[in-house]
A and B are shown apart, each in its own frame.
Chain A
């Protein structure tokens, strides 16, 4: 008897171990190596965003593939390839999926890491992160959705200009890849047909490192480590020699400086406002006869980035923002429509289905996540992987997407602080939420604006998936009503405004030379 039970117990234990394997396959680790259907060798002729011309920054002519120094560089690859460890093979596979993709992913990770609101001071005020002392609490930055949208945009736009410059010099110098020079160089990745100097991976790396250091100054160790791994992966793979990488990285850094200068002057640094501005925005709303938004956090937290609507846009000018993009005023808080919309949200808060809760959480993208712009970057990345884009086209498409997401953030924040509309739970204290209540005015919904912009740009890039993008955007938008944190008007006007912003990115796509 005893033995039987002992055996049963052991058998049950063993079965459990086998049946509950904890191994998880993470989607981003199985992306295939980049292997473009169209190499886009002419990307050096595409229209840059900030550069005056593709050749604005110098890139010195490469040494000849017959020179002794080049042979030294070939030998460096051979020494790397002499024994390739499993870890090195993983590095090659990881970075082989694409430079724009991986640096975008790295930024998403940093955004998630830093997307936590600062804890209050003992006196009930809130400290602001300081870029000049990024590791002191509260660490810099608080990567909230507008901050993140701007970060993704600068990274992507700069990567695009760096690619245009890099491809320009590739065509100009036409130095072939190491595996074409020496048959003993193994190629661990698909052979690129492009000239190899300067390396497109390295221009992306060079520009990305500088932008990431600007935007996440406390994470330089992590960023540098990624850069080292990226370069090593290129050498191990036999894809580039050292001078391809050095030239590309240097060129990328030069391009970065131009974007950093723009970032320093784009008014984001003062978007937090000050007590005078906070009081003024509230007073202006009251003067219009409306009920102003009030922070429902304890202690009351000033609205998030109250002047982000004044940040310099990428795709249109500030006049266009006010005259053509800004949505009309929301339903008055005293109107019948407002009451109907408020009642609808109360109803969601009382009678949410499990599927609606799933949707609310799927799109929540709240604190400690990559934010809604990050979510759309992830969606785009997963789809772009299937498209076999060249590195330059990845950069161009990500730049269109992320410039639209940043401008969507600006347009949305402009509306939020222009109208200063209260949240449903402020107007009806019975309303409780199933996702974090954002600390800023309601109209228009940020998720909806981001999603409207992303939907438009992604449908332009991959028309075959247009319907899916529309469905996703609508679901993301509705998720905010299910979460009981937005009215229907916020969501509908948000989508509409986002669509408008996205169309400016599409217009740019029509004339950038990449179609």
Chain B
């Protein structure tokens, strides 16, 4: 019953920049959680790359081999109203290089929080168009180092996100487009100077902002969601990795990815659903050519029932 009415958040494992899996796009779809319902669940993900773009030059690195990232994450979405949702995500990440001497890193990465608001809804033709506004913020929750790329578990930058989204639905078919601007705060390193394209005598690194575009379309019924996804992360500014250098957090990291996302709402337990994702990087700059897989289980908790029952009494 519930599953027919309430659609849950989808996840994708987005943008692997070296070892940063960005889970910040916890809300990249046009679906909303209904008032007083809370959807929560664990997800896991695995991402790896052997080749990467050093600037625009694609290469492998025999002293890294295949760099992999394994992540476990808890995500949730609460319906404040039908048109206003609050979301969160928190991943634990572990990295590893299959060759060379560098030690993998692990730890809790960044907590993401989102406010998602359906600002406008309109019938157009036979379908329904939604305009959605999403604000997000992510902040590191552990004192991990960003300065051991590509094995760092993240970039340790506090980030604010502003996303505009349009979702068009016609029967069981849909398309969603969104554009995001990521404001990234300075990052503090454990050293007192560093070189980008010039010398800097400070432990603070000015992080270039970034944009993110996402297009997704496919089939969306009460039981199944099957969608194809294309996205593009672009760093505004930043610099290229020089030949045979190591990556640095303020590099110009870009990536274009294609992926699929599937969600199945079970028949046997109300509110239980499964998700699966896969994506591959088709173009990039200062980024790994990653292939990613992920899956998760979600369950919807209904906080409105009790109230209803109480009123009925």
Contact = CB atoms under 8 A, between A and B. Distances in A.
A364 B244 CA distance: 18
* Nearest 9 interchain pairs by C-beta: A432-B103, A298-B62, A112-B195, A109-B199, A361-B190, A119-B244, A28-B201, A437-B101, A27-B201
A22 B244 contact: no
A20 B62 contact: no
21 contacts: A5-B119, A9-B115, A13-B160, A20-B185, A24-B200, A24-B206, A27-B192, A105-B199, A108-B199, A109-B195, A112-B195, A116-B242, A349-B103, A354-B143, A361-B147, A368-B194, A370-B193, A370-B199, A425-B101, A433-B101, A437-B101
Contacts of A370: 193, 195, 199
Nearest to A28: B201
Given A26-B202, A298-B63, A5 B84 contact: yes
A369 interface: yes
A361 B100 contact: no
Given A9-B135, A16-B160, A112 B183 contact: no
Interface in B91-137: 99-104, 115, 117, 119, 133, 135
Contacts, number: 116
A16 B145 CA distance: 24
B66 interface: no
A484 B103 CA distance: 10
B186 interface: yes
Given A20-B160, A29-B201, A113-B195, 8 more contacts: A9-B135, A13-B160, A13-B162, A16-B160, A116-B243, A297-B63, A362-B190, A370-B195
A265 to B, nearest CB: 31
B104 to A, nearest CB: 7
B191 A362 contact: yes
B101 A25 contact: no
Interface in A1-42: 2, 5-6, 9, 12-13, 16-17, 20, 22, 24-29
B312 interface: no
A367 B244 CA distance: 10
B245 A362 contact: no
A116 B195 contact: no
A512 to B, nearest CB: 30
Contact of A358 (B103, B190, B202, B206): B190
Interface of B: 62-63, 84, 99-104, 115, 117, 119, 133, 135, 143, 145, 147-148, 158, 160, 162, 183, 185-186, 189-195, 198-202, 204, 206-207, 242-246, 248
A368 B201 contact: no
Contacts of B135: 9, 12-13
A118 B244 CA distance: 7
A358 B63 CA distance: 23
Interface string A345-378: 0000100001001100110100111100000001
Nearest to B208: A22
B62 A299 contact: yes
A316 interface: no
A117 interface: yes
Interface string A402-444: 0000000000000000000000010000001110110000000
A367 B1 CA distance: 60
A297 B183 CA distance: 38
A296 interface: yes
Given A9-B133, A27-B201, A434-B103, A361 B189 contact: yes
A367 B245 contact: yes
A297 B64 CA distance: 10
Contacts of B100: 298
A308 B36 CA distance: 72
Interface string A204-238: 00000000000000000000000000000000000
A349 B102 CA distance: 11
A364 B201 contact: no
Nearest to A113: B195
A357 B244 contact: no
Contact of B245 (A20, A116, A299, A484): A116
Q: Which residue, B101, B185, B243, has most C-beta atoms of chain A within 10 A?
A: B101
B202 A25 contact: yes
Nearest to A22: B206
Interface in A267-286: none
A113 B199 CA distance: 8
Nearest to B81: A1
B205 to A, nearest CB: 8
Contacts of A27: 192, 201-202
Contacts of B248: 368
B183 A16 contact: yes
Contacts of A29: 201
A12 B115 CA distance: 11
A296 B193 CA distance: 28
Contacts of B204: 24
A361 B191 CA distance: 6
B244 to A, nearest CB: 4
Contacts of A378: 192-193, 201
Interface in A242-286: none
A313 B135 CA distance: 62
Contacts of A2: 119
B102 A432 contact: yes
A12 B161 CA distance: 11
Contacts of A26: 200-202
Contacts of B242: 116, 368
B186 A22 contact: yes
Nearest to A30: B201
B63 A20 contact: no
B243 A137 contact: yes
B202 A367 contact: no
A105 B200 CA distance: 11
Nearest to B194: A369
A298 B84 CA distance: 54
A26 B196 CA distance: 14
B298 to A, nearest CB: 26
A29 B193 CA distance: 13
Given A5-B84, A354-B143, A432-B103, A368 B191 contact: no
Contacts of B200: 24, 26
Contacts of A112: 195, 199
A17 B183 contact: yes
Interface in A79-108: 105, 108
Given A17-B183, A22-B206, A368 B195 contact: yes
Contact of A117 (B162, B191, B199, B244): B244
Contacts of A296: 101
B154 to A, nearest CB: 15
B213 to A, nearest CB: 19
B144 to A, nearest CB: 9
Nearest to A301: B63
Interface in A363-404: 364, 367-370, 378
Contacts of B117: 5, 9
